[in-house]
Amino acid sequence: MKYVDEFRDGALARNIAASIASEAEPRRQYRFMEFCGGHTHALARYGVADLLPPNVRMIHGPGCPVCVLPIGRIDMGLRLALDAGAILCTYGDVMRVPASDGLSLMRAKARGADIRIVYSPLDALQLAADHPGREVVFLAIGFETTTPPTALAIQQAAREGLKNFSVLCCHVLTPAAITHVLEAPDASQYGSVEIDGFVGPAHVSIVIGSGPYEGFAEKYRKPVVIAGFEPLDIMQAILMLVRQVNDGRAEVENEFTRAVNREGNLRAQEVTAQVLEMRSTFEWRGLGEVPMSALKIRPEYARFDAERRFDVKYRSVADHKQCECGAILRGVKKPTDCKLFGTVCTPDNPMGSCMVSSEGSCAAHYSYGRFRDIPVVRRDVAAHGVEPL
Amino acid sequence: MDTSKRHYTRPLDVKHGCIDMNHGAGGRLSAQLVEEIFARAFDNEFLNQGNDGALLPVPVGQRLVMATDAHVISPLFFPGGDIGCLSVHGTINDVAMLGATPLYLSASFILEEGLSLADLKRVVTSMARAARDAGVPIVTGDTKVVERGKGDGVFISTTGLGVVPEGRVIGGAGARPGDAVLLSGTIGEHGVAVLSKRASLEFETTIESDTAALHTLVAGMLVAASEGAIHVLRDPTRGGLATTLNEIAGQSGVGMMLRESAIPILPQVDAACELLGLDPLYIANEGKLVAIVAPEAAHAVLAAMHAHPLGRAAACIGYVTDDTNRFVQMDTRVGGRRVVDWLSGEALPRIC
């Protein structure tokens, strides 16, 4: 595939791997957190860990939009669909997130709730136009990548005078979450993890630019390298992080120059600011309440705010007692440290949110990497001459 | 068939008419529907016996193979095919995957009240053509009508009968460590073609479904290999290549090692999957097969696949390993390794 294949090239990957291996100092440990679920998924899908020396370790961060969505938020959507009889639209990823009472959107749908997968909030808008007699609610989730389309849809609904469309806004913010991972007041509950640098978000940074990470890099003395979602992007970013650590630098560098600049997408930022404003606090699954970390709909657009329109209140619901998603999302524990991993909690029956989306660290490890947990005895059959032709 | 009725019956209005509950009531309208839509299209000596079942000759000294498949697909018509030809190809392929020669098909239809007769005729015509092209007649059938909202236009269930010589055992439990894993062509076209026409997701594409009957390809492969050299044949339909290989690994108690760069895939399919956040390894195919073959026969079978129009892009994508964990693993394009797991739930697009 043009424009993508070159970022998945095996020979180039080996070159970068060789540079990482030769430049990483053997006596030193390099612990880098990839914040984004997209990076977690790509690392697992391409087996990038196999190309890194043992002292360079990737820690999976909390940047999976589905994973950080608390049970109580899904419950709100379920109440709108089951009790208020609304058509609830959302992204496909959200369908399997476990909610209260053993429900999920997928299971509620099987029980008769009208829940539909959309690719864009504009599809939800169209549904509202097509069903003037029904309430249509868009369950809006995601980081800064998916926020501008939500804002645009609300503006368009206002322009068209749609009376039956509203948004359950659960959009969250990246910089607040990264900061929280490093300085959470309740981090002691989970213990803490040493992080030597961050692979910065790809698509999020297209929207917000590289600027917002600068204060963070300086304040916490942590290097940040913004990287694309292709395997070579990530490897190049890891090499750049190794170099920063070796040089004692803590800068924001941009590997993803083909899409990210310092300012970001100003038009998208403007539309978002017109429609959405900061929430004083928002509960994240695994991170708990994080101040100034999410967005809500401005009062001018209150009639499109499902939380006001339907008077559904957020009620916090605790995760399963043994679920380690909190510690895993912070990088303090690995998926295999959780007692539920692969026994009670599997991708087909997720208990915790990290197992739901393929971007979650548990699902990524289960689906792509679990062979590493079990020593596999393989007979070498290359001698038969049936190596892939 | 019964021609005496014809003179006193107004012909079906195929252009404007719709299925209604009367078409399923078992009376004159039911008979007319069967005659004018189904019997005329499928026309063959066994169906024309006109009985509730068909009396069929069976070759001597062979064993019977039977397979059945239910077809529900939305939309009914998609680039490269429709539910009609799909229901013929799917069942022929299931029979062929046992190394058998498919001989006869049955078809039963569940029609939803309100289905246009034009659409029904289009589906049935496509089925008839697919069956004729494959040389496998539809010898018996049934039709029922359900109320509006209780079906998705039309559901088609087909059953296939075939024969396989004594002693030939091809099945999912036959893979052995060291065997070659062959794939007959590019993956993912069917699933992407269907997705491209889903109401919520319409996008422009040149990708067509690969729906095809694979029994002649199988026949060619069987000729090229000594008896017993082809251990497993399976068509990677729902759940895609990844799921099929996991099924085989599970049944045979082995692992597999694939090479990502060896798996053929059209750039358009790759691009569409990239855009939708889907993995082509999990996308359905309807005209591809996986063959697990003894290593010494791999080259000959692959050559036979290349010689058939449906196997031109065939490739050896990996080999079977000795692994009690039954892991299907893959060397990735960038040189790492990963598990190629079962499809989990429904393939849902990612948002990030």
Contact, A354 vs A65, CB < 8 A? Answer: no
Rama region for B27: left / alpha / beta (φ>0; ψ in -120 to 50; rest): beta
Structural domain boundaries, residue B327: 180-339
Contact, B128 vs B35, CB < 8 A? Answer: no
Structural domain boundaries, residue A214: 5-19+29-63+180-254
Task: Quick: pLDDT tens for B203-220.
Answer: 777 899 999 999 999 999
B104 falls within a domain: yes
Q: Is the pLDDT of residue B4 over 90?
A: no
CA pair distance B143, B151, nearest whole angstrom: 13
CA pair distance A215, A3, nearest whole angstrom: 33
Task: Quick: pLDDT tens for B233-274.
Answer: 999 999 999 999 999 999 999 999 999 999 999 999 998 888
Is the minimum CB–CB distance between A385 and chain B shorter than 8 Å?
yes
A321 falls within a domain: no
User: Are B93 and B219 in the same domain?
Assistant: no
User: Are B207 and B331 in the same domain?
Assistant: yes
Mean pLDDT is lowest, of A202-216, A266-280, B3-17, B134-148, for B3-17
Q: Identify the CATH number of the domain in which residue A189 sits.
A: 3.40.50.11750
CA pair distance B282, A362, nearest whole angstrom: 20
B2 falls within a domain: no
Q: Is the pLDDT of residue A171 over 80?
A: yes
User: Are B146 and B231 in the same domain?
Assistant: no
Task: Quick: pLDDT tens for A58-80.
Answer: 998 888 888 889 899 999 999 99
Structure token digits, residue B279: 């993995």
Chain B residues 173-192 with a CB less than 8 Å from chain A: 177-180
B68 falls within a domain: yes
Question: Which has the higher per-residue pLDDT, B1 or B102?
Answer: B102
Say which residue the tokens 């078409």 belong to. Answer: B23
Structure token digits, residue A19: 């540079």
Is the minimum CB–CB distance between A175 and chain B shorter than 8 Å?
no
User: Are B94 and B118 in the same domain?
Assistant: yes
B244 falls within a domain: yes
Helix (H), strand (E) at residue A30 = strand A30-36
Question: Nearest-CA neighbor of A104 among A59, A128, A139?
Answer: A139
User: Are B234 and B307 in the same domain?
Assistant: yes
Task: Quick: pLDDT tens for B161-196.
Answer: 999 999 999 999 999 999 999 999 999 999 999 988
Q: Is the pLDDT of residue A184 over 90?
A: no
A246 falls within a domain: yes
User: Are B195 and B279 in the same domain?
Assistant: yes
Q: How many domains is chain B built from?
A: 2
Task: Name the H helices within chain A.
Answer: 10-23, 37-45, 71-82, 105-110, 121-130, 147-160, 174-183, 203-208, 214-220, 231-247, 266-275, 306-309, 325-329, 361-364
Chain B neighbors of A386, CB-CB under 8 A: 178-180, 295, 298, 316, 319
Q: Is the pLDDT of residue B304 over 80?
A: yes
User: Are B140 and B214 in the same domain?
Assistant: no
Q: How many domains is chain A built from?
A: 1
A233 falls within a domain: yes
Structure token digits, residue B227: 């008896």
User: Are B67 and B207 in the same domain?
Assistant: no
User: Are B188 and B323 in the same domain?
Assistant: yes
Chain B residue with Cα closest to A43: B336
CA pair distance B63, B225, nearest whole angstrom: 21
Q: Identify the CATH number of the domain in which residue B34 sits.
A: 3.30.1330.10
pLDDT at B348: 58
For chain A, helix (H) and strand (E) counts, in that order, are: 14, 13
User: Are B283 and B315 in the same domain?
Assistant: yes
Q: Is the pLDDT of residue B1 over 60?
A: no
pLDDT bucket at B352, cuts 50 / 70 / 90:
very low
CA pair distance A388, B200, nearest whole angstrom: 39
A52 falls within a domain: yes
A9 falls within a domain: yes
Q: Is the pLDDT of residue A387 over 60?
A: no
A59 falls within a domain: yes
Q: Is the pLDDT of residue B154 over 70?
A: yes
B170 falls within a domain: no
> Hey, what amino acid is at A142?
G
> Phi/psi at B339 (nearest 5 deg)?
-80, 140
A13 falls within a domain: yes
User: Are B200 and B307 in the same domain?
Assistant: yes
Q: What share of chain A is helix, strand, coil (3-state, %, to 5)?
A: 45, 15, 40
Chain B residues 201-240 with a CB less than 8 Å from chain A: 201
CA pair distance A341, A366, nearest whole angstrom: 8
B6 falls within a domain: no
Q: Closest partner residue to B325 among A10, A374, A388, by Cβ?
A: A374
A159 falls within a domain: no
User: Are B151 and B241 in the same domain?
Assistant: no
